Amino acid sequence: MSRPADGPADGPAKDQGGRRAETRQRLYRAAADLIAEQGFAATTVDAIAERAGVAKGTVFYNFGSKEALFAGLLDHGIERLADALAEAARGPAASPVAVLDALMLAQLRFFDEYGPFARVLLAELWRAAWQDAVLRLRTSVLAMYERVLADAVEAGELRPGFDTGTAATAVFGMVLTVAIERRALRPDQPVEDVHATLAELVHRRISP
């Protein structure tokens, strides 16, 4: 007879897995905060461990090196951003341009919640050492923007021959930069107001 899924034999393993996941989250948050504040090169394993409230050995136990921790942070953050945008794209929308608006709003809200990660992406992602993460960003996040823009071209909402690949990168970069600027200089400005301005700007520039 099979034992219940939440039986005693499962408890320790599940607890251990949950604790390790929680520890990794703390290390990700600490690393993102520090790297956003002072850059990757200046951030040490000792500082990450101290900010996370763990022993230095915990960093090496979970990741092996600062570089592996940062690579994990990029993967984790990009995956969560992709999930947020995918959820927005599944919502009700009257047209591809409306879906584009939903993606921009989801990106703004994500970076409003995870501001340090936004600054890490802008400052650190494009270094040669992190090209694997750039590829994942391209295939999981920018590709969503590109698909929606291609749908808009097909629907006649954008002009024929529109360069959807370049536009996808441009829109993502614009939203990323504006999100960082808002958090730094205008934190009281509602995200929805920022989105309305960006949506109007995009509509005026890419509509036929």
Phi, psi torsion values for 125, nearest 5 degrees: -65, -30
Q: What pLDDT sits at residue 87?
A: 95
Question: Tens of pLDDT along 35-44?
Answer: 999 999 999 9
Q: 């989105």: which residue's tokens?
A: 195
Q: Closest by alpha carbon to 205, among 148, 144, 157? A: 157
pTM: 0.86
Q: d(Cα 107, Cα 103) in Å, to the nearest integer?
A: 6
Question: Tens of pLDDT along 63-110?
Answer: 999 999 999 999 999 999 999 999 999 977 678 989 999 999 999 999
Q: d(Cα 175, Cα 158) in Å, to the nearest integer?
A: 20
Q: What pLDDT sits at residue 5?
A: 37
Q: d(Cα 86, Cα 16) in Å, to the nearest integer?
A: 31
Question: Tens of pLDDT along 8-22?
Answer: 445 555 566 788 899
Q: Closest by alpha carbon to 168, among 207, 138, 123? A: 138
